[in-house]
Structure 1
Amino acid sequence: MQNIVPYIQKLKAEQPGLLCAYVRDMDALRSHVGVRVQSLPRRCKLFYAIKANSEREVLAALAEIVHGFEVASLGEIRKVREISSDIPILFGGPGKTEEELEGAIEYGVSLIHVESGHELNKLNAIAERRGIVAPVLLRINLRGPLPQATLAMGGKPTQFGIDEESLPEVMGQLQKLRHVRVEGFHFHSLSNNLDAEQHVRLVEYYCEISRQWAAKYGLTLNYINAGGGIGVNYADLEQQFDWDGFVSGLAPMLEKELPPTTTILFECGRYLTAASGYYAAEVLDIKRNHGKDYVIIRGGTHHFRLPVSWNHSHPFERIAIEHWPHSYERPALYDGSATIVGQLCTPKDVLAHEVEIKEVRVGDILLFRYAGAYGWAISHHDFLSHPHPEHKYVEGLNSLFGGGV
């Protein structure tokens, strides 16, 4: 990871203007995802949920590694098909239009995650017009209890999935629908779970209840989609989800609980791309206001909205830039606490709140780590019409600067 610092220093030295850039370590991305795919137990497949980061370069790199992509719109389907004409696609989302369902069929989506009885009727009518049978998974909002995590999409009232208590009604409805075929069940009950043992137990619960439903309703259980939900610890970057512990616990559990003809699907996003991405922004100003210090950077939440959307202080480090080309005084802050903010005309443009700072000066670079997921992808890019950041996709960072990445 430390190789990113000399790269940022070099990047700053080579350009005359203010620095603001996303940097993605493509070797680290491939390595991280490759290890996860290869270490999964048999009959498990790992899909990348592209909502976390759908940039073409990221999709092209991961298409060679993952078993497929999970998407949530027709636009995302098209992005995937620009990269590959045949890679498997899973299509979810709580509000699919007729155009999107038509497009899913047209582009050869492997499985459609159906989220309501109305959506089943709509898809059945489209498939009937086309003379096909559409393969689907029923997304179920379980009643729980479920583990605690940063975000919950199940176990409580949400817009996601079919209420578990409505499943008998939906299964009765399916008896009249000849152009959809239920291949199994989809669950995505939570997001950003950091407890590996707890996550094994959650997948075990999915297996148990799917087996019960398959037996009750006479279904062939080809797939159980366990969703994503594996988290990133932004509060302590050194204490991340124990993947090795997860797969070592998952393997014996699946041998016991998974029916012999069933495949488990995982659709991770954040966990796959966050660590290999960085957001780098130059310090524009340092000021004191009502007894509080503020560090203003070139950029902000219109580039990197994740911190304010999750209400956390995002981890960063200072990269010292010694060159100061001006005759006037260089503002600086030493041994204090400051709030890191952007250029927007809103007090919500905050990336880190009252964090301890040993030293920072105007012209230095703040490097935000673990910025490769839900950063640029979810940001309001054109608010106030500020320039977009540069996007750098770096190959061979380790060989360029030496040492481990």
Structure 2
Amino acid sequence: MSKVEEILMQLKQASDQPLCAYVYDLDHLHAHVSGVVSQLPERCEMYYAMKANSERPILEELAPLVQGFEVASVGEVKKAREVDRRIPVIFGGPGKTDEELMEAIRSQVELIHVESIHELRRLEYLASQVKAIVPVLLRINLAGPFPEAATLHMAGRPTQFGINERELAVVMAQLALCRYVRLEGFHFHSLSNHLHAPNHIALLRMYVQKAKQWVEEYQLEISRLNVGGGIGVNYQALQEQFDWPVFVSLLRDFMEGEVPENWKLMFECGRYLTASCGYYVTEVLDLKENHGERYAVVRGGTHHFRLPSSWQHNHPFEIMPLDEWKYPFARTTWEGVAVTVVGQLCTPKDVMARQVPVDRIRIGDLIIFQYTGAYSWSISHHDFLSHPHPDHIWLRSATNKWSLTGKVEKEWTY
């Protein structure tokens, strides 16, 4: 039995209520991120994209391991500073308000990603009010085409992100008038959930070639390229993930042969760093059949775990059998069937996996959704229908303790 399953057994034994919880394995998170960062070649930096999961224990675990945090709101700036007042922070995202830009300036963020010519003008105006020099990267929405399709596209098609590549000359003319905004380089984040290592190198090659072209065309001196995140997670085949060792081997050759010696490449990964440390665990409340489809109704739903509905996929899960049955009547059991896993919400869209074959499932068993450490609880509509929130459990073997959010730490062994 795994340590996660042992903790779940302890929780079930301590309460007669249906179980619903997020479980985060901080040991796994530390080992995974340490391995990722340690393999990066020189002149490459890893920032954590806080939007993936900004829970305090996650940030505390990652702060010593990564170069800094990538944030997209003042709230995330404050979360970063609460964890480490000196950790480097880079601030991006469309639609920044004057208040947010001023707070970023006062907080001395390392870089601001400028998303439009209007944002550039406002930043120059605000910086002039406090006589602060503000280092920036221009986020560029490239025209493409890009190597191999990914799950999400932020560039190469109509989106709200970045500066249209065709408008760069106008932006550069405006930048030449700025006294308080200092250009450090460019920010590219065109694709998300890329799973093919050689094709991701091809994407970086496109970024570097574009930046070299603009440096020559506009006579620029830059030192940084933010090449975004975009490295994905394969939710449909958990054993076939992005090949990081192959990627860094190719990246090392790429850095030596094609990236100018005075440039650094910045990565801002979120999902790839934290997804695999998380589990969403929920108890089967009912098994029912309607119009030829079998449903497992669970405690919780997409108000806790919106990712499957957002991405329209079947999220991977395992069934953990629980033998205890407290009722005086027979327990419903299905064997060798396809099951659709749904939650408690009053909408047919509350689906986390549809018609997935299972060997056996019973009312009262646990369903453990895997790879829920990113874009899961953080993007969900928590208070829809005012159902209770799930517990959040943080596992760390170094202290031989597990902690439940808002409650005292408890001893555990495995």
Distance 2:103 2:346 in 1: 40
**Structure-2 residue corresponding to 1:369:** 370
Q: Which amino acid aligns with 2:80?
A: V
**Structure-1 residue corresponding to 2:36:** 36
**Structure-2 residue corresponding to 1:201:** 202
2:16 aligned with 1:16? yes
**Structure-2 residue corresponding to 1:93:** 93
**Structure-2 residue corresponding to 1:102:** 102
Distance 2:176 2:265 in 1: 26
Contact 2:26/2:277 (8 A) holds in 1: yes
SS of residue matched to 1:127: helix
- CA deviation digits over 1:200-252, x for unaligned, max 9? 11111111111111122122121000000000000000100000000000001
**Structure-1 residue corresponding to 2:383:** 382
Distance 2:385 2:334 in 1: 28
Distance 2:258 2:356 in 1: 46
Q: Which amino acid aligns with 2:58?
A: V
Percent sequence identity over aligned pairs: 53
Describe how 1:25-104 pairs up with structure 2 within 5 A.
25-104=25-104
Distance 1:69 1:143 in 2: 28
Contact 1:136/1:180 (8 A) holds in 2: yes
Contact 1:275/1:371 (8 A) holds in 2: yes
2:246 aligned with 1:242? no
Describe how 1:5-404 pairs up with structure 2 within 5 A.
5-147=5-147, 148-396=149-397
Q: Which amino acid aligns with 2:112?
A: I
1:156 deviates by 1.2
SS of residue matched to 2:265: strand
1:157 deviates by 1.3
Contact 1:321/1:364 (8 A) holds in 2: yes
SS of residue matched to 1:391: strand
1:64 deviates by 1.0
1:401 deviates by 5.9
1:14 deviates by 2.4
SS of residue matched to 1:336: strand
Distance 1:274 1:230 in 2: 12
Distance 1:61 1:11 in 2: 24
Distance 2:374 2:136 in 1: 28
- CA deviation digits over 1:283-319, x for unaligned, max 9? 0000011111100000000000000000000000000
- CA deviation digits over 1:118-163, x for unaligned, max 9? 0000000000001011100000000111131000001111100001
Q: Which amino acid aligns with 2:142?
A: L
**RMSD between aligned residues:** 1.3
Distance 1:358 1:320, change over 3 A: same
1:380 deviates by 0.2
> Which shifted more, 6-15 or 295-304?
6-15
Distance 1:173 1:107 in 2: 25
TM-score of the aligned structures, taking structure 1 as reference length: 0.97
Q: Which amino acid aligns with 1:7?
A: I
- Note the residue ranges of structure 2 that are not aligned, 5 or more in a row: 401-411
Distance 1:124 1:398 in 2: 49
Q: Which amino acid aligns with 1:307?
A: P
Contact 2:105/2:132 (8 A) holds in 1: no
Distance 2:283 2:113 in 1: 43
Contact 1:3/1:398 (8 A) holds in 2: no
- Note the residue ranges of structure 1 that are not aligned, 5 or more in a row: none
Distance 2:128 2:284 in 1: 59
1:3 deviates by 3.3
SS of residue matched to 1:356: strand
SS of residue matched to 2:168: helix
Distance 2:356 2:413 in 1: 30
SS of residue matched to 1:209: helix
How many positions carry a matched residue from both structures?
402
1:261 deviates by 0.9
SS of residue matched to 1:9: helix
Q: Which amino acid aligns with 2:388?
A: P
1:175 deviates by 1.4
Distance 1:150 1:262 in 2: 29
